[in-house]
Amino acid sequence: MQPKFSAALDRPLILLSNREPYEHVHRPNGIEVRFPAGGLVSALDPILRRTHGTWVAWASGNADRTVADDVGRVMVPPGDPSYTLRRVWLSESDVEGFYLGFANSALWPLCHLFVSKVDIRRNDWESYERANRMFASAVVQEAERVGGAPMVWVHDYHFALAPALVRPQVPDALIHQFWHIPFPPPDVFGILPVGVQHSLLRGLLGNDLVEFQTDGFAWNFMDCVARTLPDAQVSLDQGVVHLDGRQTRIGAFPISIDVAEWQRLAALPHTVDVCRSLRQRYAPRDRQLVVSVDRMDYTKGIERRLRALEHMWTDSPERRGTFTMLIVATPSRTDIQAYAKLERDVLEKIERLNDEFRTLDWTPIVLVHENVDADLLAAVYCAADVCVVSSLQDGMNLVAKEFIACRTDRNGVLVLSRFAGASDELGAALLVNPFFIDAFADTLAVALDMPRHERVERMTILRDRVANATIDDWLDAMLSAAEATDQATDRAAEGGAATL
């Protein structure tokens, strides 16, 4: 069924994100197009195609310049050109300062409450400001090109300053932003230099609507505004901030996945074969298979998961050999020291645990440390008796939802951190506190011992939940809210009530 989507899409759409939907790279036999894996690009690409919109993003491929025009525009998808990709080039030092620096070594750890990992450097901040100006001016140029009153949709923490930079130059634009990661409470946000706090909040308040994954993150944001900007009026109940004669709506819009696509992947004959061979290899006879899938990121709690396993195999030796742990940990941000260290620590710990507990016919932990195709992920989800998501903080966590979508057999247990945004919706999972290692190990044991009827009962509830809140429902809800914000603003301008 085709989703309706809202009338907000009658406006020309300009999307801004750091990652681009298509990347061109030089290969020995020519230029190859890469379609970066990930739910977001797959969800938004069809909308851009349908509306013939514009996607502004960082040019990360080494052949990107070769195929784009002088300004950086290229029509995509290749072979079926239907929308404009506007590429923005960053210097090496801005990749360092903006992307690896302020975005991923200051904002990322700060928003995930990893205060000891927060690195604030003046050069990085200046580079973040510069990059935001560059991307904002590309958005403005695209707005001038397409004309009319566009809808500008900004994505994530890389671009907190862009909305307020675009607003005065495209006054008729409807501007909104989805913040994919958590937003910290004021005490943590307060770690940033005061001037930086003001710039980030004022930048975000350049939006008509700011979208968070959960109510908790939306409240944190409004709390930070109330405590940091004395001239702002915050109405927590209504989710509205007034500043400088403008209003910004704040709301929770939990992101989801393309459920039908994951079900399709799970049903492919190849997936079914791979699933069967995973079970033959790692879970023969009555041995079980526990799986996890993450980017190799310290927020995902991979080390805590290993500690819980160690605790279990040490305290309950009878559990050794009863299940294999398959960890898919995709390399991520390896240019950042904290990530390189995490990778070393995780590899070492897995090796040590395997040396300590392995038997002649059992390797306790199997690590897949590479980017794999989505159909292999589907096979991993289908093969699992238990899937563990142990994030220490997470905006949402799509893996939890992908696992559920793939389990058309209504079997399999989800162990889910209560610090992942997904736990707000997925209460029928076994919720766990990954900081409390003993309890984490106990919950794993409960998952492994869960009788079949309870697995089915829980998975049925989880599947209903995910089926009723897909990526299309997310888009519909958000675009309708953006449109309502727009109408409310129009009414306010005409002197009427400005409520959603």
Q: What x/- string results for residues 258 through 297 when contact with ligand GDG is judged by CB under 6 A? A: -----------------------------------xxx--
CB of 403 to ligand GDG, least distance (A): 10
Using CB under 6 A as the binding rule, whether residue 394 contacts ligand GDG is answered as: yes
Neighbours of 28 (CB within 10 A): 5
Residue carrying the six token digits 């030092």: 93
Structure-block tokens of residue 496: 């009427």
DSSP-based three-state secondary structure for 329? strand
Using CB under 6 A as the binding rule, whether residue 465 contacts ligand GDG is answered as: no
CB of 433 to ligand GDG, least distance (A): 18
Nearest CB to ligand GDG, comparing residues 322 and 330: 330
Using CB under 6 A as the binding rule, whether residue 372 contacts ligand GDG is answered as: yes
* CB contact at 8 A, 433 and 418: yes
Cα 236 to chain centroid distance, Å, stands at 25
Using CB under 6 A as the binding rule, whether residue 59 contacts ligand GDG is answered as: no
Contacting range for ligand GDG; rule: CB under 6 A; set: 60-68, 139-147, 394-402, 461-469: 394-402
Rounded to whole angstroms, what are the CA distances from 105 to 87, 125, 307, 410? 24, 11, 25, 40
Contacting range for ligand GDG; rule: CB under 6 A; set: 232-240, 245-253, 316-324, 398-406: 398-406
33: left (phi over 0), alpha (psi -120 to 50) or beta: beta
Using CB under 6 A as the binding rule, whether residue 396 contacts ligand GDG is answered as: yes
Among 7, 25, 37, 267, binds ligand GDG (CB under 6 A): 37
Closest CA to 213 of 69, 40, 354, 76: 40
Nearest CB to ligand GDG, comparing residues 165 and 481: 481
Round to whole Å and give the CA distance between 107 and 2: 37
Closest CA to 309 of 442, 429, 419, 431: 442
Task: Count how many residues are written for the chain.
Answer: 500
Nearest CB to ligand GDG, comparing residues 294 and 486: 294
Using CB under 6 A as the binding rule, whether residue 38 contacts ligand GDG is answered as: yes
Contacting range for ligand GDG; rule: CB under 6 A; set: 5-13, 58-66, 145-153, 370-378: 370-378
Using CB under 6 A as the binding rule, whether residue 369 contacts ligand GDG is answered as: no
Structure-block tokens of residue 171: 């006054």
Using CB under 6 A as the binding rule, whether residue 399 contacts ligand GDG is answered as: yes
* CB contact at 8 A, 437 and 413: no
Using CB under 6 A as the binding rule, whether residue 374 contacts ligand GDG is answered as: yes
Round to whole Å and give the CA distance between 452 and 273: 23
DSSP-based three-state secondary structure for 79? coil
- b/e map 113-140, b = 16+ CB within 10 Å: bbeebbebeeebbebbbbbbebbbebbb
Neighbours of 464 (CB within 10 A): 12
Round to whole Å and give the CA distance between 214 and 254: 6
* CB contact at 8 A, 421 and 112: no
Nearest CB to ligand GDG, comparing residues 383 and 399: 399
Nearest CB to ligand GDG, comparing residues 33 and 75: 33
Contacting range for ligand GDG; rule: CB under 6 A; set: 35-43, 137-145, 160-168, 465-473: 35-43
CB neighbour list of residue 298: distance below 8 Å, 6 or more residues apart:
114, 117, 338, 339, 342, 392
Q: What x/- string results for residues 327 through 346 when contact with ligand GDG is judged by CB under 6 A? A: ---x----------------
CB of 313 to ligand GDG, least distance (A): 26
CB of 18 to ligand GDG, least distance (A): 12
Nearest CB to ligand GDG, comparing residues 337 and 371: 371
CB of 377 to ligand GDG, least distance (A): 5
Which residues in 172-191 contact ligand GDG (CB under 6 A)? 180-181
Element (H, E) at 248: strand 246-252
Which residues in 116-175 contact ligand GDG (CB under 6 A)? none
Using CB under 6 A as the binding rule, whether residue 385 contacts ligand GDG is answered as: no
Number of residues that bind ligand GDG (CB under 6 A): 22
CB of 40 to ligand GDG, least distance (A): 6
Using CB under 6 A as the binding rule, whether residue 395 contacts ligand GDG is answered as: yes
Nearest CB to ligand GDG, comparing residues 217 and 323: 217
CB of 391 to ligand GDG, least distance (A): 8
Among 129, 343, 402, 425, binds ligand GDG (CB under 6 A): 402
Task: Return contacts of 25-32, CB within 8 angstroms, 24+ apart.
Answer: 25/61, 25/62, 25/63, 26/62, 26/63, 26/66, 31/63, 31/66, 31/67, 32/63
Using CB under 6 A as the binding rule, whether residue 78 contacts ligand GDG is answered as: no
Using CB under 6 A as the binding rule, whether residue 382 contacts ligand GDG is answered as: no
Binding stretches for ligand GDG (CB under 6 A): 37-39, 180-181, 255, 293-295, 330, 371-374, 377, 394-399, 402
